[in-house]
Structure 1
C-alpha cells in the first residue's frame, strides 16, 4: 500500500513471543478467546465443530461473539497455513494476519482489505475496524508480554448507543 485509501488499511505491532504462541492466539478458538473474543466457534467443511484447541483450517466457517456486544460476526477461514499466515472473510471484507520473526520479537501485520467504499462502509468498516484493530493488537501485546487484558469486562457497555465508537477498550 503506497497511499491511504478507504478500501484497505494495515496495522502492525512487534510482540515479544514465539510465532507458535501468536499463531495459537489467532488460529484456535481457545487462543482467540484468551485475549479477543467471548466465544469463537469453528466448523469444518464437513460440518464438524472444531475443538477449542484445534487449529482452524481453510474452508472452516466461524461465528465470533465479543464481550459487550450482542451481535456476532460470521465468516469463512480462507487461508490458514498452521504457522504464520491466516486470512478470513470479515465484515464484508477480508482480514489477513502475517507473523514474521524479527530478532527478539514477532512482527504481527494485520491487513483489512476489499472494504466497500460507500459512506456507511467508510464509517463502520474502515473507521470502526481500523480503530478496533488498533486496540485489539495492543490488547494482544499486553496479554502476551504482561499477562493483562485491557478490554472492558467489568462494566456492561451494551446499552450505551455509541459505546463501540466512544470507548477505547470495547
Structure 2
C-alpha cells in the first residue's frame, strides 16, 4: 500500500468576515493581491485578461507573481473549478492541486484549504509538502490579518528575499 502522508495536507482558518467577501478574496485578481500575490493575472479561454474585480471561472489560466521576488519567479496554472460561491480548485506547484472550500459555523466563515497530488522528492531540501504547508499557513494568517484588521504581513522587498531562504 502506497504511503500518501507526504502527498497531501489540509489547513483550516476561521474568519470574522462574510463568505462572499472571503470568496472574492480568493477568486479575483484584486482580492488575491490584497493578501497573497504581488500580481495575479487571470485569462479566459480565448486569452482575454480578466479585470481586477472580475471573478475567475473554470478553465481560466493564471500567471502569478510574488512579493519579494523578481518577475522571473512566476507561477502558471489553471482554474479547475470555481462555483462563484464557496468552492474553487486550481493547479499549483509541481502539478499539485489546491482546493478551497468555504463554509459558515458559529458565526464565522471557515476556509478549508487542501493541497493534493504533491510529488514526493528524494531530496529533503526540496520537500514540496513542507514548503507549501508552511507557506499556506502564513498566507492563511495573512488573509485573516488583512480581512479582519487591514494589516498586511508580507515581505514586499526583493532585497530581503535571501533572508527567507
User: Could you state the TM-score of these two structures normalised by the residue count of structure 2?
Assistant: 0.91
Runs of 4+ in 1 over 2 A off after TM superposition: 118-124, 153-156
Q: List per-residue Cα deviations over 1:37-87 (Å, max 9, x = no partner).
A: 000000001111111100000000000001012301000000000010010
| In 2: Cα distance, 1:48 partner to 1:121 partner | 40
Task: Give the equivalent residue in structure 2 for 1:168.
Answer: none
Kept in 2: contact 1:6–1:122 (CA 8 A)? no
* SS of structure 1 residue aligned to 2:160: coil
Q: CA deviation at 1:104?
A: 1.5
Task: Give the equivalent residue in structure 1 for 2:75.
Answer: 73
Identify the range of structure 1 (20-29 vs 114-123) with the bigger mean alpha-carbon deviation: 114-123
User: Could you state the TM-score of these two structures normalised by the residue count of structure 1?
Assistant: 0.88
Q: 1:45 to 1:5 in 2, by over 3 A?
A: same
Task: Give the equivalent residue in structure 2 for 1:167.
Answer: none
Any unmatched runs of 5+ in structure 1? 165-170
Please give the root-mean-square deviation of Cα atoms over the aligned residues, in Å: 1.8
| In 1: Cα distance, 2:122 partner to 2:90 partner | 23
Identify the range of structure 1 (80-89 vs 122-131) with the bigger mean alpha-carbon deviation: 122-131
| In 1: Cα distance, 2:124 partner to 2:100 partner | 21
* SS of structure 2 residue aligned to 1:156: helix
| In 1: Cα distance, 2:76 partner to 2:123 partner | 19
Any unmatched runs of 5+ in structure 2? none
Task: Give the equivalent residue in structure 1 for 2:20.
Answer: 20
**Matched residues, number:** 160
Kept in 1: contact 2:81–2:87 (CA 8 A)? yes
